Amino acid sequence: MTKIGLEIHCQLTKLESKLFCTCKANYREFEPNTNICPICMGLPGSLPRLNQKAVEKATMIAMALNCNTPEKIAFFRKNYFYPDLPKNFQITQLNVYGDTTVGGTGTLMVGEKKIRITRIQLEEDPGRLIYEGSSEKNQITLVDYNRAGTPLVEIVTEPDFENPKEVREFLNILSDLLENLDVSDPSLEGAMRADANVSIEGGNKVEIKNIGSFHDLEKAVHFEITRQQSLHSRDIPIIQETRHWDDKRKITVSSRSKEEDLDYRYFLEGDIPWIKINEETKEKLKTEMPESISSKKQRYITKYNIPTQVAEVLSSDKFYSNLFENAHTKENAKEVANIITTDLMGLVDTREKRADSKLKPSHLKEIADSIQSGKITRNSAKNALYEIVKMGGSLSDIITKLDLGNITTESELSKIIELTISEEPLAVEQAKSNPQTINFLVGKVMQKTKGKADPKLTLDLLKKMI
């Protein structure tokens, strides 16, 4: 049997400031080493100043993953030398003097399967090393400390996954959950990273590190399982070790054995007292937590009669569900859901497109209402949506500009139908003998009206007029 466990690191990118100082939590917009201060650079005499909201958001994550949340949390130092670590220790959390990490044991359902969470801890991200050129030629390493001290939540799971597919499904659900909680933007580069451990047939556990993306994680796990199976089938023992994912060759390679075994000498961080989180605070956090994805989905189905699949898509994506929440009325809910899941999804499928989109909830509402009142057809709505996402502006202007307004009067439509009948005598004859073929004429009318005619009215009129 294959057992896979995960350690997921998620940056709390939605926070304003770093974990222990007032530098920016989202370091991405800065020139190298300009988002730093004496605290995150570990200058002599500086002290950490814990960010209250980071503790609150991490606690929310723990609650959302059904974890135990302790009365008090503690911070520890993990000691090791590395150039990206300004203090040469990392402030993190552990459960050595009782349960003192932000989250204890919990669970997350992946379909019917229960994945157990071991613990959730709040810690600081290190800086970043930059290697220029090939590694052999590098005489030095360059360091950018902008990321140092970014609030990071580590989620550790039990080895409950049996195959890479389960891992992927779990990560998708988890990433939607974190986005929905409004703690992180998982689409930001490096905002979510994961290490995995893999064992087969009750054998030794192998850790895989250095995995750049969730996509690679699946591949790395797959590779590692295959590697271990191949060894196992030839009776070669699998050694307990740490392996690195080689991104170029798409294989895992054994990490060079270190000169000395690392010994992190964990001990309590004396600069941060234990933090009491009482029931009152926890209750308050619970009320502040955004509605969960599953609850949203259920609401969409029961309250608005939205089909299950549409409700699932809508609820699991924060961008879509936010649009929906702000655009829908009781009357147009189904229509709004429909527009988002059939027409909009293709237009804003990347992070950049979403950022550039000029679409506002008010647009969606107006489009849905216009469809329902028969002012525009679904087809025209799609064209209008495309235009609005790209250019913005008001719907009425776009209807005029693109001439999308419905041909609603019978007389106007009758003229066009008359013209079509005169142009297509053969088709008319055919339709008379075989009513099935009348759709050809409907199509011709639609062509002439650029899709603005109501298809039903057209059919009725055509039947009458031939």
Partner 1 sequence: MVTQKEIQHVAKLMKIELIDPSIYERVDKMLGYFDILDSAGVESEEIIFREIPITNLREDKYIPYNEKLIEKLNHYKGTYVRAPKMV
Partner 2 sequence: MDIKISALQFTREVKSGNLSAEEFMAKTLEQIQKVEEKLHAFLSLNDNALKQAKEIDKKIKLGQKIGKCFGMPISIKDNICIKDTKTTCASKMLENFVAPYDATVITKLKQQDAIFVGKVNLDEFAMGLTTEFSAYGPSRNPWNTDYVPGGSSGGSAVSVSAFECVASLGSDTGGSVRNPASFCSTVGYKPTYGLISRYGLISYANSIEQIGPLTRTVEDTAFMLNLISGIDSNDDTTVDNHGEDYLKNIDSGIEGKKIGIIKEMIGDGIDPAVLSATKDAISKLEGLGAKCEEMSLDMVKYSVAAYYTITATEAGSNLARYDNLRYGYDFSVEGYEFNSYIEKARKKLGPEVTRRMILGGFVPSAGHAGKYFLKALKVKNKLTRQINDAFKKFDLLIAPTVPILPFKIGEKIDDPVALFLVDINTVTANLTGKPAISIPFAISHGLPIGIQLIANSMDDKLLLQAAHALEKTVKLPEVPI
Query: Which residues contact partner 2 (rule: CB under 8 A)?
Result: 38, 41-50, 77, 79, 81, 83, 86-89, 139-141, 143, 259, 263, 265-268, 270-273
- The radius of gyration of the chain's CA atoms, rounded to the nearest angstrom, is 29
- Contact stretch for partner 1 (CB under 8 A) within 48-56, 112-120, 313-321, 454-462: 48-56
Residues 255-274 that bind partner 1 (CB under 8 A): 259-260, 263, 268, 273-274
Q: Residue 16 binds what, of partner 1, partner 2, none (CB under 5 to 8 Å, by partner type)?
A: partner 1
Q: How far is the CB of 180 from partner 2 (least distance, A)?
A: 31
Q: Which amino acid is at 6?
A: L
Paired tokens of 361? 């909830």
Distance CA 123, CA 357 (A): 34
Contacting partner 1 (CB under 8 A), which of 163, 230, 254, 278? 278
78 - beta bridge partners?
Answer: 90
Q: What are phi and psi of 302, to 5 degrees?
A: -80, -40
- Contact stretch for partner 1 (CB under 8 A) within 140-148, 232-240, 372-380, 416-424: 140-148
The SS3 of residue 270 is coil
392: Cβ contacts below 8 Å, ≥ 6 apart: 358, 359, 360
Residue closer to partner 2 by CB (options 258, 464) is 258
By the rule CB under 8 A, 31 interacts with partner 1: yes
By the rule CB under 8 A, 299 interacts with partner 1: no
By the rule CB under 8 A, 102 interacts with partner 1: no
Distance CA 418, CA 90 (A): 80
Residue indicated by tokens 């723990």:
62
Q: Residue 44 binds what, of partner 2, partner 1, none (CB under 5 to 8 Å, by partner type)?
A: partner 2
State which H helix or E strand residue 129 sits in. Answer: strand 128-130
Dihedral-angle region of residue 305 (phi above 0 means left; psi in -120 to 50 means alpha; beta otherwise): left
Distance CA 194, CA 171 (A): 9
Q: How far is the CB of 349 from partner 1 (least distance, A)?
A: 31
Q: How far is the CB of 190 from partner 1 (least distance, A)?
A: 18
Total residues at interface with partner 1 (CB under 8 A)? 50
Distance CA 184, CA 175 (A): 9
Contact residues toward partner 1 (CB under 8 A) are: 15-17, 22-25, 31-38, 41, 49-56, 72, 74, 81, 83, 97, 129-130, 138-145, 259-260, 263, 268, 273-278, 281
